[in-house]
A and B are shown apart, each in its own frame.
Chain A
């Protein structure tokens, strides 16, 4: 039997509240606010309080899906990436790079967002980058 407490940052929005994850026998069983965190000072909203639930949810996506004939079909990562790259090439060739937009997220890290805009500007060649927190 082992239990541990893992300090982390809430992934739900861009505020960045400190959370403490309760892990018992390798399974996430609860979330607590991190009392000494300067952002949330030991407080959380309802999403933060329940963030352990989506980790264990049976609805959680663990595999990429490709939409074929109007339905989502489970697939492997390599296949999904190949397919996406292929379609991007076709679209850019036909309609130009500005026909593609990239949406990044407040729920990912700063570095991932940087990579997102790099991908849009350097790979695709468009300035169409936007963010869910730019309300």
Chain B
């Protein structure tokens, strides 16, 4: 891994490489450049999971000519990249990936437990099919309860690797009334859920970042299931825009300006 990144940086194939390093016991993202080749010995694969592709979109928005190398620690990183390519947030020619997803511990079902975290809220491995034994009369109040725990931190949106819109509907005061806590239940969460249709690649970052332990992943899984059943669109694997590109094929969602 280190040798390949060194070669890429020396050859000028990439300008920067975003991987992980150990900082006082915390595995954090790190940006490796050809100026500091001796740092590459610290490069390691990441068990903690940061959205490196989101970092790449931020950098690419400010420096579009840069070729960025990315460490691919999990399968969903690649799917997130595909979504970002499809929506013109990243140029596939300017991204070089180093696939390390075989070395990191991950179960096939894309559901993993983080060993250092205490399990709170509903089980992170719950699938929409597991809810079928419950009636609507049971499920509806439960969902409303889960949504009402929201502290409106926008963490789910901020951490999401495929959330890149310049203007976010969640901050639109005509759609979602401002100044209320919890935010309008269930509109706030359902607006986000519908926007995740054809975008969410089920990486689970939103649920990990949720301070109120709302089962967001379960909700977006359900949305993804509908997209896949009704429109035969496999988010993250299909290489065209989702059927929800209502503005036509040529829609280019502008990235946020880097110096906001």
Binding site for B on A (CB under 8 A): 1-5, 7, 18, 20, 22, 24-25, 27, 29-30, 32-38, 40-46, 49
Contact = CB atoms under 8 A, between A and B. Distances in A.
Interface string B190-227: 00000000000000000011110000000000000000
B209 A29 contact: no
Interface size class of B (residues with CB under 8 A): 35 or more
Given A24-B59, A36-B116, 14 more contacts: A1-B16, A2-B31, A5-B28, A5-B29, A22-B55, A29-B259, A33-B155, A34-B28, A38-B116, A42-B208, A43-B209, A44-B155, A44-B209, A49-B158
A102 to B, nearest CB: 33
A3 B35 CA distance: 12
B243 interface: no
A1 B154 contact: no
26 contacts: A1-B33, A1-B66, A4-B31, A7-B24, A20-B28, A22-B55, A29-B259, A30-B58, A32-B50, A33-B155, A33-B209, A34-B28, A35-B49, A35-B50, A36-B26, A41-B118, A42-B117, A43-B155, A43-B208, A43-B209, A43-B210, A43-B211, A44-B209, A45-B153, A46-B151, A46-B152
A25 B259 CA distance: 11
Interface in B83-137: 116-118
User: What 9 A-B pairs have minimum CB-CB distances, sorted nearest first?
Assistant: A35-B48, A43-B211, A46-B153, A3-B31, A36-B26, A5-B29, A45-B153, A36-B48, A5-B28
A2 B66 CA distance: 11
Given A33-B209, A42-B208, A22 B58 contact: yes
Nearest to B210: A43
Given A1-B66, A35-B48, A49-B154, A7 B15 contact: no
